[in-house]
Structure 1
Amino acid sequence: MEFIYDFSKILLATCRDVLPIIILIVSFQLLVLRQQIPHLRRLIVGGVYVVIGLALFLAGLEKALFPLGNIMATQLSDPAFIYGAGEVVTQADWKAYGWVYLFAAMIGFATTIAEPSLIAVAFKASEVSAGTIK
């Protein structure tokens, strides 16, 4: 029951976040281009699916990834981990946190490795849209 309550809060927050984008696109279509929205029903159904998908994605992040990151950050920055158990630390030296820097560098490296696949996705999007999306 708690998941349903949390998910409903996330769903409402997602709707609130997506609403300005929808207002901007609809007002541009109607006021600037002065054209009706083509395939309105399909567009609404797709929009509902997108909002639900975003809410599920965010719920998954909050239930799995964010707590994991919090635990990892707490463990990596714990003075007992850095200086050893049983040692009292009054002032921590920033150089002693090399583990945190190594972890951040590994995350950055993994992101860099993933970048070519994102470029491939962008290339496909450009190809499918006949060059409209770059």
Structure 2
Amino acid sequence: MIVWINGTHGVGKTTTSKLVQQLLPGARVLDVEKVGEVLMDITPGLPATDNFQHWEPWRPLVVETARRVLEFTGGKLVMPMTVSRGHRHDAPHSGPGRAPYRGFSAWRLSTERPKMRCAVRT
């Protein structure tokens, strides 16, 4: 199972991920921003962009990393990340490296609304 927590920068995704992890026995937090940091460390650098999510390798690396971690450990992954642009909205569960899961929960945090919206895909 993957619990994906989406929201704008600074809304509390990482904090919420740690709280959700405590509620799910055996859950691990996978901060896929670290995948972007790996890409940013490549020298000489990749083509200039304002967001590492725009680099072609980012999306399949996120999917493959989640898939491999679940394959290796089993259990559940809690993934905080800001994904708000059309085709990237499906980043954690689509593409040729599709992550295996029994359930997929997407939570979007917003400072504009007092409630957290939750959509579950299976």
TM-score normalised over the length of structure 2: 0.25
Greater relative contact order (Cα < 8 A, sep 6+): 2
- The structure that is strand-richer by fraction is 2
Judging by fraction of residues, say which structure has more helix. Answer: 1
Greater gyration radius: 1
